[in-house]
């Protein structure tokens, strides 16, 4: 019987997180996109 491959999203998530951490222009772009969302959170008074 052939082994079934389990596809996982984890490697792709790790790649995106690594790119955001290590590529400064990408980090700034993500920060600009997430800033309005973070301002909506109640703990950021």
Domain boundaries, the chain: 11-40
Higher per-residue pLDDT: 40 or 2: 40
Please state the pTM of the whole predicted model. Answer: 0.56
pLDDT of residue 22: 92
CB 26 within 8 A of CB 19: yes
Condensed to tens digits (0 to 9), the pLDDT of residues 11-41 reads 999 999 999 899 999 989 988 988 888 888 7
CB 9 within 8 A of CB 16: no
Higher per-residue pLDDT: 14 or 4: 14
Structure tokens at 14: 């790790």
Please state the rounded mean pLDDT for residues 39-45. Answer: 70
pLDDT of residue 2: 54
């Amino acid at each position: 019987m052939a082994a079934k491959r389990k596809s996982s999203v984890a490697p792709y998530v790790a790649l995106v997180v690594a790119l955001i951490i290590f590529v400064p222009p990408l980090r700034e772009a993500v920060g600009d996109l997430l800033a309005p969302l973070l301002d909506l959170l109640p703990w950021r008074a």
